[in-house]
Amino acid sequence: MIDKIDRPYTTVILAISADGKIADKVRSPARFGSANDKAHLEQQVAANDAVLFGNGTLQAYGTTMRVISPELLKQRELAGKPPQPVQIVCSRSRQFDPNLRFFQQPVPRWLLTGQDAGTVNDCKFDRTIHAKTTDREIDWMDAFQQLASFGIKRLAILGGGKLVASVLAAGLVDELWLTVCPLILGGVDAPTPVEGKGFLADLAPKLELLAVKQVDQEVFLHYKVDRAQSQNTHK
């Protein structure tokens, strides 16, 4: 049923430590990826119409990944796309620090929030999308259908773990790119790629490994969500 709705094709892109953490225990910006990983991220961002990330990720970094490579900019131009994908912040509070460098970056900025959210401050978003909510949680099916109506066909999700968990639980993730970096972060409070309540093993989304690539000390894993197998676990 999910595959029949008009929604963006969605890819999660994250760098993780060897023990599966996306940040340390104090949630510092995860800049432990190499230059190769950064180039990989830029390439993936350039391949999408929009990038989605949570307010916590925005607060941690203060900026977003934009396309800088002349080659990637040319590829987007030849494909009839604007230079930069839309940068979409998902936030319930809608209160932002206007001094964040994100708000000075030359990128299109959208806000995705719930219909029950409060008023937004003077930060300049080009568009605000009000998604339906249930128990103060975003209805992702409605949110994604709205994104599709605005021409978003391919969407990249860059974190954090709570956002990834919500979209994955809604059955709306198609692929994952995970860069395994050579360090151990540890810590029960260090965030993982998928936060939230978690999944029981027999109900967990199943993945198909598409590719494994080692570049120096990092391993790039490319997965597809095996929707047929995942749906069979619910029968």
User: How far apart are alpha carbons 205 and 233 in whole angstroms?
Assistant: 9
Write the pLDDT tens digit of every residue in 95-120.
888 899 999 999 999 999 998 766 65
Residue predicted with more confidence, 232 or 59: 59
Residue 231's pLDDT band, with cuts at 50, 70 and 90, is: low
Residue predicted with more confidence, 5 or 210: 210
Residue 234 scores a pLDDT above 50: no
- Domain boundary assignment for the chain: 2-232
Write the pLDDT tens digit of every residue in 44-79.
999 999 999 999 999 999 999 999 999 999 999 999
Residue 232 scores a pLDDT above 60: no
Question: Helix (H, G, I), strand (E, B), or coil: what is residue 227?
Answer: helix
* Minimum mean pLDDT range among 16-20, 91-95, 171-175: 91-95
- Residue reference for tokens 């949680």: 137
All residues at 6 or more sequence positions from 44 whose CB lies less than 8 Å from its CB, including other chains: 11, 13, 156, 177
Cα dihedral across residues 10, 13, 16, 18: positive or negative: positive
Structure tokens at 203: 């109900």
Residue 43: name the closest of 156, 151, 152 by CA. Answer: 156
Question: What's the pLDDT score for residue 134?
Answer: 86
User: How far apart are alpha carbons 31 and 17 in whole angstroms?
Assistant: 11
Question: What's the pLDDT score for residue 228?
Answer: 78
User: How far apart are alpha carbons 205 and 187 in whole angstroms?
Assistant: 25
Write the pLDDT tens digit of every residue in 181-224.
999 999 999 999 999 899 999 999 999 999 999 999 999 999 99
Write the pLDDT tens digit of every residue in 119-157.
655 568 999 999 999 888 899 999 999 999 999 999 999
Phi and psi for 147 in degrees, rounded to 5?
A: -60, -40
User: How far apart are alpha carbons 168 and 234 in whole angstroms?
Assistant: 15
- CATH superfamily assigned to domain 2-232: Dihydrofolate Reductase, subunit A (3.40.430.10)
Residue 229's pLDDT band, with cuts at 50, 70 and 90, is: confident
Question: Looking at residues 90-99, what average pLDDT do you find?
Answer: 86
Residue 28's pLDDT band, with cuts at 50, 70 and 90, is: confident
Structure tokens at 63: 């900026």
User: How far apart are alpha carbons 235 and 231 in whole angstroms?
Assistant: 7
Question: What's the pLDDT score for residue 235?
Answer: 43
Residue 2 scores a pLDDT above 60: no
